[in-house]
Each structure stands twice: as C-alpha cells, then as structure tokens.
Amino acid sequence: MTLKMRNPLDRSATHLLHRAGQKAADIYADEAKKSGLTPRQYAVLTAVSLEEGLPQAELVERTGIDRSTLADIVARLLGRGLIHRRRAKEDGRAYAIKLSAKGTKALGKAKPAAKAADARLLAGLSAAKRNEFIETLSLIVGRDDD
C-alpha cells in the first residue's frame, strides 16, 4: 500500500512518528483505563520488575524517560505504594527502586491491557510488517546522535 502524498507532512518521519505516538497513547489509555497506569508508569514498573534495585539513573537509560519526568513518576508510584525506594549500597546519593507487592499486582493487572493496546495499534499490519516495524523503531530509538 502506497500513501498518496497530500502534503509534505504525509512524508515527514518526525510528524508521522508524533501522530503515531498520539494514536498509541490514545489506544493505551482506552485499553488500560482500569489499570490506572500511564504508559510511562507501566514502562518504569516493567523495567523495575526485570531488574529490581535499579538506581533511578539506570531507569532513565532503560526507559528513555528524562530525569525530571522519571523523578516525578517515581514520586507518584511511591505515593501510590507501587514501589519502594532506598539508598543504593554502591552510591549513597542514588536511590534503588524495588516493586512493592501492590506494584507487582498492578503490573500484572496492566500487562494484558498493554498487550491489547499493542495489538490494536499494529492490527493493520501483517505479522511480517509488525516485526519489521518494531525492528525499525528499535533501530531509531537505539541510535545515539548526541
């Protein structure tokens, strides 16, 4: 399928990624409304579940969320009792993050909704195109242009 070019934005990767991000956020919000987790909160809880005790600085690297936004997300997750935070043994200035029992339960409840959101977002693509799309996004995200 080839898109007919109506205006320059139809061929702008930056614009289309932004629009795709908006659509993904809308779909996620619809699917995950009962979980009470935003996509970024879900990402943080998932990263912590994969390796508990991560310092916040490492969570920035693992999730791609900037420091100040991550600090706000951590504060909200702490306030909801979904995570615990303690001083890291290796660096007394850093905090290590661990899931609470409530956080583990919330993450388990949110996983099916996140999977459903991904499925809805990619529903118009064949399995091969889905894999190619995810691989392409991973390449874009993994690039270090700094």
Asked if the model's pLDDT at residue 140 lies above 70, the reply is yes
Q: Is residue 20 part of a domain?
A: no
| Rounded mean pLDDT, 76-80 | 97
pLDDT in tens, 81-109: 999 988 877 777 778 899 999 999 999 99
Report the CATH number that the domain containing residue 65 is assigned in CATH: 1.10.10.10
Is 14 within the bounds of a domain?
no
Give pTM, 2 decimals: 0.85
Reported as a single tens digit per residue, the pLDDT across 29-60 is: 999 988 899 999 999 999 999 998 888 889 99
Torsion angle in degrees (nearest 10) through CA of 44, 48, 53, 54: -50
Question: Number of folded domains in the chain?
Answer: 1
Q: Which two tokens mark 72?
A: 């706000």
Q: Is residue 113 part of a domain?
A: yes
59 within a domain of the structure (yes/no): yes
